[in-house]
A and B are shown apart, each in its own frame.
Chain A
Amino acid sequence: MKLPNIYTLIIVMTASSFSCITFAADIPLYPTGPSQDSAFVRFINGTDTNLSIVAGETKAKISLNANEPASKYYPVASKVKITGEFSDGKVSSPVSLHVKPSEFSTVVALANGSNLKQVIIKEQPDDFNALKSSLALYNLSSAGCASAGLLVVDRAVSLFEKVQIGTLQRRLINPVSISVQLTCNAKPIGKALDLGLLQAGQRYSIFAVPATDSPRIFFATDTIAR
């Protein structure tokens, strides 16, 4: 009685294995993602005058004026040194940085007396969400605003608190119309800024930069250049 059962078992196992091999052999191996994550860099004019940024290798030029002080985010190879030069037509400042995979790097040009200087702030966001708006506050102001914050006008709501100089904070908020007010060391500074109707899934940045009397803020949509 045992012999037929063994034969039956062998036949079933062979048929089953053949079936699996037939299917498995049909599947070409393919990668389930890139060898490394994307990386991006953008350039910001934090001065009161018009600037341009010229790419070191391609000599491509981007104007950064008062109406559009922020460039788009440009995809970059993470193992390549990014070089370029900020210029206002009179003085210039060389740019050089590496951007790691997953990084969104922001290079900000600021006035330094009659010269230019730069601050580089790197972010590795993990808050991607198509149902919310993502808003960041970059504190690039001078010592007079060592601890920056942002209030929602007329709603007594604090979006950000204690953002130290040279750093940023980011958070998700509902896609609504809001106006915001900069605070320095918990005190309101300057005029309110109307952000308009924020879009779900969109990412935004507010930059606090030095100005003649007190820090000022401006607003940019974080757009990827493709």
Chain B
Amino acid sequence: MSASTLLGLTFLVIGESHMSLPGYLMDPLHDDLTKQGAMVYSVGACGASAGDWLKKGPVPCGAERAGNGKSVFKGRDATTTPIKELIAADKPDVVVVIIGDTMASYGKPFPQAWAWENVTNLSKQIASTKTACVWVGPPWGNDGGKYGKTENRVQYMSNFLANNVSPCTYIDSLKFSKPKQWATLDGQHFSPAGYQAWSNAITQSIVNLPDIKQAKK
């Protein structure tokens, strides 16, 4: 892929814990999109569900990175920021949402009504700003671990998101690897090699979106 495929486009990437800690997805994805020519703003908030991005609220950890600056990682002083405030400040052409694991309710009955309301509220708020949107679903992990992630539930969550994130375009991370292919630390969060592989696959998918060039406002 050309290194200038995303030239002229501004990206806002928001996400859950995968985007919130050193060595996780935040840096490789931010770097990979930047290498494609994009101006990138990244914001992570551990444990934040889709609905948490409609308001300011505390989270146990988080991170921010703007353009060529370094990532700033936060502890318990981290908060979510309402998506409309982020879009107004960063003026992105494309919002990338990386939320799935933190809404999958591993080990519990799947909360259909809650998940539907959360997901549709966020996708509608992004759409109301006339900003293109890409939603990246959860990847395979390892069954068990301290979050209780399972292959069956992550498949269910991915299917749910695929049916409900429109008008965002859905990127199915389950197609990027086989179950257990990327080593995890706790069943859910990957080693740096796993995050780099996930980042490469996400970036390739975004670059290959047929209408990504038309996302420029």
Contact = CB atoms under 8 A, between A and B. Distances in A.
Partners in one complex: yes
B23 A23 contact: yes
A32 interface: yes
Given A33-B105, A125-B112, A28 B61 contact: yes
Interface in A1-58: 20, 23-24, 26-40
Interface stretch (B83-91, B159-167, B200-208): B159-167
Nearest to A23: B185
Interface stretch (A126-134, A153-161, A185-193): A126-134
Interface in B76-109: 101-106, 108-109
A32 B141 CA distance: 14
Given A26-B21, A128-B160, A33 B111 contact: yes
Given A27-B21, A104-B113, A130-B164, A33 B185 contact: no
Contact of A34 (B22, B60, B106, B111): B111
B166 A39 contact: no
A29 to B, nearest CB: 6
Interface string A170-211: 000000000000000000000000000000110000000000
A139 to B, nearest CB: 23
* B contact patch SS: loop
B60 A30 contact: yes
Classify chain B: how many residues form its interface, as a range: 35 or more
B101 A32 contact: yes
A23 to B, nearest CB: 5
A33 B103 contact: yes
Contacts of B116: 128
Interface in A71-121: 101-102, 104
Contact of A200 (B117, B147, B166, B191): B166
Contact of A29 (B101, B105, B146): B146
A208 to B, nearest CB: 25
Contact of A32 (B147, B163, B166): B147
Contact of B112 (A28, A30, A102, A130): A102
Interface in B15-39: 17, 21-23
Given A26-B22, A27-B186, A200-B166, A32 B105 contact: yes
B111 A36 contact: yes
Most chain B C-beta atoms within 10 Å of own C-beta, residue among A35, A104, A129 = A129
Given A27-B17, A27-B21, A37 B185 contact: no
11 contacts: A23-B23, A32-B102, A32-B106, A33-B105, A34-B114, A37-B112, A38-B117, A102-B109, A104-B113, A124-B112, A130-B120
Given A27-B17, A33-B106, 4 more contacts: A39-B113, A128-B160, A130-B120, A201-B120
Interface of B: 17, 21-23, 46-47, 49, 59-61, 101-106, 108-117, 120-121, 123, 146-148, 160, 163-167, 185-186, 189, 191
Interface of A: 20, 23-24, 26-40, 101-102, 104, 124-126, 128-131, 200-201, 224, 226
Kindly list the 4 A-B residue pairs having the minimum CB-CB distance in the complex, ordered from nearest: A33-B105, A30-B47, A37-B111, A28-B60
